Amino acid sequence: MLMGLFPRFRWHLSRTEKVMYLTFDDGPHPEITLEVLDILRIHQAKATFFCVGENVSKYPDVVGRILTEGHTIGNHTHRHLNGWKTNWNDYKEDVEQASREIQAATGVRPRLFRPPYGRIGLQAAWVLPRAYQVVMWDVVAGDFVQDWTAEKVRENVLKNAKEGSVVVFHDSPKAHARLILALKSTLIHFGELGFRFEALPQG
C-alpha cells in the first residue's frame, strides 16, 4: 500500500478526534475559490489550499484572502507538473518557483507540498520532505471526474471520510459543479455529527 511505501508523507491525521481536514487543489481561481471561501466561512470551517504557482501570480488577492480568513496554503508546483513524467532538476525548480510566487503574494513561505495527480518521482519523494511536509490524502472526492454526477461525488465523500481524514477537492472549473454540492453536503453532514473542520498545520 502506498502509505507504507511513503511513511514520511501525511495521509491522514489523528483518528481519535472528530476533526476533518478539507483540502483544495489547483487554484486559486478568481471565482470558484472565492465561492469556496464563502461556503467555508458560513460553516466556520478552515481548510488548506494547495495552490499552483502560475495561478498565484495571476490572482494574488485571492491568495491573500485565503490566509486572512485563517486557512493554510500549500505548494502544488508552479505548472501542475506530473512527477512521473518530469526529471528531478526541472521538478525541483518548478516547486521552488511556486514557493517564490506564494511567498511574494503572502509574505509566507509554504511548508506544505502536494504533488499534482499524487504522482511523485523517487528522488522528489526522498528530497522534498526535508523542506516540506508532503501531504497526500485518504479520501479523493472525485469532483474532477467528468462522468461522475455531483450526487456520486457527495456520496463518495460521505461514505469514506472519517475522523482525521484528509479530503481532496478541486477549486477549478472542471470540478466546479460537482465540488459545490459535495462541499456543502460534507460540511452539513459531518458538522451535524459534531466534527470540526481545521486547516492542516504548516509543517
pLDDT tens-digit series, residues 9-62: 999 999 999 999 999 999 999 999 999 999 999 999 999 999 999 999 999 999
Residue 203, pLDDT > 80, answer no
Half-sphere exposure of 40 (CA within 13 A, CB side): 27
For residue 84, the model assigns a pLDDT of: 97
Quote the number of domains for the chain. Answer: 1
Neighbours of 61 (CB within 10 A): 11
Average of per-residue pLDDT across 78-92: 97
Which entry of 29, 76, 80, 170 is annotated as an active-site residue? 170
For residue 5, the model assigns a pLDDT of: 61
Q: Is residue 186 assigned to a domain?
A: yes
For residue 158, the model assigns a pLDDT of: 98
For residue 153, the model assigns a pLDDT of: 98
Q: Is residue 166 assigned to a domain?
A: yes
Q: Is residue 203 assigned to a domain?
A: no
Q: Is residue 42 assigned to a domain?
A: yes
Average of per-residue pLDDT across 64-68: 97
Residue 1, pLDDT > 50, answer no
d(CA 71, CA 47): 5
Which entry of 25, 94, 138, 171 is annotated as an active-site residue? 25
Q: Is residue 167 assigned to a domain?
A: yes
| Contact residues for 170 (Cβ-Cβ < 8 A; gap 6+) | 24, 25, 26, 27, 141, 143, 144, 179
Average of per-residue pLDDT across 181-197: 98
For residue 4, the model assigns a pLDDT of: 56
Given the DSSP bridges, would you call strands 112-113 and 133-134 parallel, antiparallel or unpaired? Answer: parallel
Return the H-helix or E-strand segment holding 75: strand 72-75
User: At 44, which CATH number?
Assistant: 3.20.20.370
25 is a catalytic site residue: yes
Q: Is residue 202 assigned to a domain?
A: no
Residue 194, pLDDT > 60, answer yes
Q: Quote the domain boundaries for residue 150.
A: 2-197
For residue 101, the model assigns a pLDDT of: 97
The mean pLDDT value of the chain amounts to 96
